[in-house]
Amino acid sequence: MREFLRELAAVAVAASVYYLVRGAVSDRAEEAFQRGRDILELEQRFWLDWERAIHEAILGSNALIDLANGAYFWGHMPLLIVLAVWLWRSHRVVWRSLRNALLISATAGMVSYFLFPTAPPRLMPELGFVDTLALRAAPAYQAQEVGLFVNPYAALPSLHVGWALLAGLAVWQTSSHPLMRAFAIAIPLSQSWAVVATANHWTLDAFAGIAVCAIAWLLVLLRNSLSFRMPVQVDRS
């Protein structure tokens, strides 16, 4: 019970920091929109501006829009909650690794959101993007748009993609069964497609999210390795 309360405390602290960051950037819209345009220009220089093609590919099909919306919403926090409960009950060591990587990457994300507020494509219809969640009026949209819980300029990095990568790595560690391994791979791949298809993130946001969370996971593995190798001191007095 005590350990469970510690987990809740960590989540509460992370949420509090998020709210503070959200309030600090809510009035920096001009900066956020300019950074979004700068990111698109940078992507165009390196032929990474895949957003419009991926986004437009789903606009003619309600089924594809619903699929992208569902992957974007249900493949993020709902999946992480279910995964956290399962790992807590059945794979406590993997849960601790996932938890620590989430906290490290969340901290890095909050710093970036404060220093580099960035508007996502969905808020820039003049560039040809549509908010697909609003277009289909999905329940996920109402949940995401509750002002208290949303930072509209938290595009860089995409923790939707980064945390999907962490979820996939955690699932991969729990089993060598081919179906479980396939599911582990599908989690980050589907979320990478969804964030761009729904115009919630730029391509570079997704790459940045992968980089931040991969580094967080490696730091956790390094810490675990050092802790495992550290000799136990025996008191001989």
Q: At what angle do helices 92-115 and 159-174 cross, to 10 degrees?
A: 170
Q: What is the pLDDT of residue 27?
A: 74
- Residue 44 in this model has a pLDDT that exceeds 90: yes
95-132 residues labelled b (16+ CB within 10 A) or e (exposed) = bbbbbbbbbbbbebbbebbbebbbbbbbbeeeeebbbb
Q: Which of 59, 46, 70 is nearest to 202 (CA)?
A: 46
Distance CA 199, CA 123 (A): 8
Half-sphere exposure at residue 154, Cβ-oriented, CA atoms within 13 angstroms = 23
CB of 21 within 8 A of CB of 113?
yes
Residue 156 DSSP symbol: S
Instruction: State mean pLDDT over 88-98.
Output: 91
For the beta carbon of residue 62, count every other beta carbon within 10 angstroms.
11
For the beta carbon of residue 70, count every other beta carbon within 10 angstroms.
16
For the beta carbon of residue 190, count every other beta carbon within 10 angstroms.
18
pLDDT bracket for residue 237 (50, 70, 90): very low
Q: What is the pLDDT of residue 227?
A: 72
Distance CA 25, CA 3 (A): 34
Residue 148 DSSP symbol: G
Q: Which of 56, 200, 203 is nearest to 120 (CA)?
A: 200
Q: What is the pLDDT of residue 16?
A: 66
Q: What is the pLDDT of residue 221?
A: 92
**Which of 23-27, 59-63, 155-159 comes out lowest in average pLDDT?**
23-27
- Residue 121 in this model has a pLDDT that exceeds 60: yes
Residues 105, 231, 171: CA angle, nearest 5 degrees: 35
Q: What is the pLDDT of residue 208?
A: 97
Q: Which of 115, 138, 109 is nearest to 216 (CA)?
A: 109
- What is the tens place of the pLDDT at every residue in 166-221? 999 999 999 999 999 999 999 999 999 999 999 999 999 999 999 999 999 999 99
| H or E stretch at 9 | helix 2-25
Q: At what angle do helices 29-45 and 203-229 cross, to 10 degrees?
A: 90
pLDDT bracket for residue 150 (50, 70, 90): low
Q: What is the pTM of this model?
A: 0.88
